[in-house]
Chains A and B, each alone.
Chain A
Amino acid sequence: MLRFIIRRVLWLLLVLFVVLLITFVLMHLVPGGPWDREKALAPKVIEALNKRYGLDLPLWRQFINYIGGVLHGDLGISYSYSDRTVVSLLVHGLPKTLTLGVLAFVFAQAIGIPFGVAAALKQNSPVDYASVLFATLFASIPGFVLGILLMIIFSVTLHWLPTSGWGSVQQVLMPVFCLAALPAAQTARITRASTLDVMRQDYVRTARSKGILESTIRVRHIFRNSLIPVITIAGPMLADLVTGSFIIENLFAIPGVGRMFVQGIFARDYTLIMGGILFYAFTIAFLNLVVDILYGAIDPRIRYE
């Protein structure tokens, strides 16, 4: 098992390196630099700035310096927030993005799994139809459209919830719900499908032939098997939630990493962009690794010797 983890971690580092390389190249291909402003700066000023931030060096040199910095944990100083290091910016934005992502993930599982299971156990009953309808409805409405609709209802007309900002509980409700709607629907659908499938399996009939109680059969035999696919999509789902929240952050003006990242792109804040991508790529790759390890734990057939 350890050998497998080491191999995967090495691959993870390589993937991160390549992702950083692609971002670096793409970033410099995008027209417009960090210093271009409507009121043009004097050429000498631009020269000084480039020197200060090492942008005068050839690109490959800059990349090597950057990677060197990353290895030492120094992600450079942001151009637009000139007195703050990228690390401090990420640390500032991280709690908001993570809270959003994790809360949405928890909400998605808390709603998705029970709904999915209930729908499967009481197939073709009102519960089943309601849950399938709910799942399909929320699986198809994009987060930010849902956010807008909610905003119109709860902020514009009912004035219950503020439309933006961070800090109070009311400000978290709508963003988390918008972010969680799609994954909740997906979880419900997959749980329902896999539970239905497992209920038809023969070993459930063997369990029944042993006379043990239906409730024990459900927990030990049905859910133990039917939750495997749910867990396999949980990892990428959490990654998507953490990294996909920037549209919601933009909509609800939440100063998370996502919003900062998008502003970074528009401000051509190279170090902030690289820092953002590093954070996102790492989260996605790391979570996928966690899922694969977890996967081995719950499904013995996949144990990696």
Chain B
Amino acid sequence: MAPLLEVRNIKTYFQTQDGIVKAVDGVSYDVNRGETIALVGESGCGKTVSALSILRLVAEPAGKILAGEIIFDGVDLLKLSDEDMHKMRGARISIIFQEPQTYINPVLTIGRQISEGLEFHKNMSPREGMQEAARLLKLVGIPHPERRIYDYPHQFSGGMRQRAMIAIAIACQPQLIIADEPTTVVDVTIQAQLLELIRNITKEFNTSLILITHNLGIVARYAKRVFVMYAGNIIEYGSAMDVYHFPCHPYTAGLLASVPRLDEPRKVRLQSIEGQPPDLIAPPRGCAFQDRCAYSIPQCLNEKPPLQEIGPNHYTACWVSQKGTRPWQK
């Protein structure tokens, strides 16, 4: 069965004063119906830009999607007319943003901002919209929804605002939800509740979910497949199990090592990956991770390793591991 969404070799560049930033430089991934995948990587590796590219929300004139295709349910979104794209956004693909504080309009009531999408896509009347908004707020676990729809964002706590964001995203029962770091802003307890909520919703409505995060801890629990991004490229992807237990890229191994583990003795020093992500304006020739990689070989410096299958449905872009050795494996 063809995947719901196929992102093929997307290139999204940004024109800045200091030069062209290659934020997303040839990224491909796919999502099946009802499946949850995770897009993982340090901040600034292009996760969010790739998500925004799907919805064609990249800020014009600075940012442009130069190449690639985004096949969603058999249709290439990049070829769609603006008018059709409007019909797609919110109705069939929606997005949950990271900062509930700034991503909700402070001067409109919460109910109004939820019913907006419904009024446009399902041409409900404002009254019906508000009732549906109340139902959605109930669904996402906000008490006394029928009163709360008339409240303003500043009257909601951080966690509740994020729940409202989720309500906005699921309003028209989209087929695909992109969750861009949905829980980074809230504390751990609320984080768990929100993720559970999102998972139940995706299960209930058989919605596909792209979970974008830099927090590897939650990825294992929620995503079936994991795509690790670094400097605008996918450098490793596979099932969560494979990637967690047999990381085939030094960067993935480094990421996993830096996650503090409960089962380890407390005295062990926290590990971190030295150095800074490369400058995306003039990325180095060869592998982008080379100057931070402890196992780099001459070939890494000159040639950019392509993604190659290293195990069943497990791909990596690293010369060292493609030669069959994984020195970073303990």
Q: Would A and B touch once assembled, by the CB under 8 A criterion?
A: yes
Question: Which residue from A212, A216, A225, A301 sits with its C-beta under 8 Å from B90?
Answer: A212
Majority secondary structure, A binding face: helix
Determine the chain B residues whose CB is within 8 A of the CB of A212 once the complex forms: 86, 90, 116-117, 120
- A298 on the interface (CB 8 Å rule)? yes
Min CB gap A148→B, angstroms: 43
Min CB gap A218→B, angstroms: 13
Min CB gap A124→B, angstroms: 9
Determine the chain B residues whose CB is within 8 A of the CB of A83 once the complex forms: none
- A126 on the interface (CB 8 Å rule)? no
Min CB gap B90→A, angstroms: 4
Question: Which residue from B91, B99, B113 sits with its C-beta under 8 Å from A211?
Answer: B91
Contacts between chains A and B (CB distance < 8 A), count = 81
With A and B bound together, what is the CA distance between A220 and B86 in angstroms? Answer: 17
Contact A225 B89 (CB under 8 A): no
Contact B154 A206 (CB under 8 A): no
- A38 on the interface (CB 8 Å rule)? no
With A and B bound together, what is the CA distance between A203 and B152 in angstroms? Answer: 14
With A and B bound together, what is the CA distance between A205 and B108 in angstroms? Answer: 15
Determine the chain A residues whose CB is within 8 A of the CB of B88 once the complex forms: 211
- B105 on the interface (CB 8 Å rule)? yes
The contact string, 1 if C-beta is below 8 Å from chain A, for chain B 86-98, is 1111110011010
Determine the chain B residues whose CB is within 8 A of the CB of A43 once the complex forms: none
Determine the chain B residues whose CB is within 8 A of the CB of A228 once the complex forms: 107
Interface size class of B (residues with CB under 8 A): 20 to 34
Question: Which residue from B86, B116, B154, B165 sits with its C-beta under 8 Å from A301?
Answer: B154
From known contacts A210-B117, A220-B116, infer whether A225 and B86 are also in contact, taking CB-CB under 8 Å: no
- B143 on the interface (CB 8 Å rule)? no
With A and B bound together, what is the CA distance between A209 and B95 in angstroms? Answer: 7
- A99 on the interface (CB 8 Å rule)? no
Contact B108 A220 (CB under 8 A): yes
From known contacts A299-B107, A301-B154, infer whether A203 and B102 are also in contact, taking CB-CB under 8 Å: yes
A92-125 contacts to B (CB < 8 Å): none
Determine the chain B residues whose CB is within 8 A of the CB of A16 once the complex forms: none
Determine the chain A residues whose CB is within 8 A of the CB of B55 once the complex forms: 209
Determine the chain B residues whose CB is within 8 A of the CB of A209 once the complex forms: 55, 57, 89-90, 94-95, 97
Determine the chain A residues whose CB is within 8 A of the CB of B86 once the complex forms: 211-213
A265-305 contacts to B (CB < 8 Å): 298-301
From known contacts A211-B91, A212-B120, infer whether A205 and B107 are also in contact, taking CB-CB under 8 Å: no
Contact A211 B120 (CB under 8 A): yes
Determine the chain A residues whose CB is within 8 A of the CB of B99 once the complex forms: 202
B164-219 contacts to A (CB < 8 Å): 165, 168, 171
With A and B bound together, what is the CA distance between A211 and B168 in angstroms? Answer: 12
With A and B bound together, what is the CA distance between A298 and B108 in angstroms? Answer: 10
Question: Which residue from A203, A211, A216, A299 sits with its C-beta under 8 Å from B104?
Answer: A203
Contact B152 A300 (CB under 8 A): yes
Contact A224 B108 (CB under 8 A): yes
- A232 on the interface (CB 8 Å rule)? no
Min CB gap B54→A, angstroms: 11
Determine the chain A residues whose CB is within 8 A of the CB of B116 once the complex forms: 207, 210, 212, 216, 220
From known contacts A209-B55, A210-B89, A211-B89, infer whether A202 and B120 are also in contact, taking CB-CB under 8 Å: no
With A and B bound together, what is the CA distance between A209 and B121 in angstroms? Answer: 12
The contact string, 1 if C-beta is below 8 Å from chain A, for chain B 301-326, is 00000000000000000000000000
For A303, give the chain B residue with the smallest CB separation. Answer: B152
- B106 on the interface (CB 8 Å rule)? yes
- B328 on the interface (CB 8 Å rule)? no
For A298, give the chain B residue with the smallest CB separation. Answer: B107
Min CB gap B154→A, angstroms: 5
- A221 on the interface (CB 8 Å rule)? yes
- B295 on the interface (CB 8 Å rule)? no
Chain B interfacial positions (CB closer than 8 Å to A): 55, 57, 85-91, 94-95, 97, 99, 102-108, 113, 116-117, 120-121, 152, 154, 165, 168, 171
A and B contact pairs by CB, cutoff 8 A, 26 listed: A202-B97, A203-B104, A206-B97, A206-B113, A206-B165, A207-B105, A209-B97, A210-B90, A210-B94, A210-B168, A211-B90, A211-B91, A211-B117, A211-B120, A216-B116, A216-B120, A220-B108, A221-B108, A224-B105, A224-B107, A224-B108, A225-B105, A298-B107, A299-B107, A300-B107, A301-B152
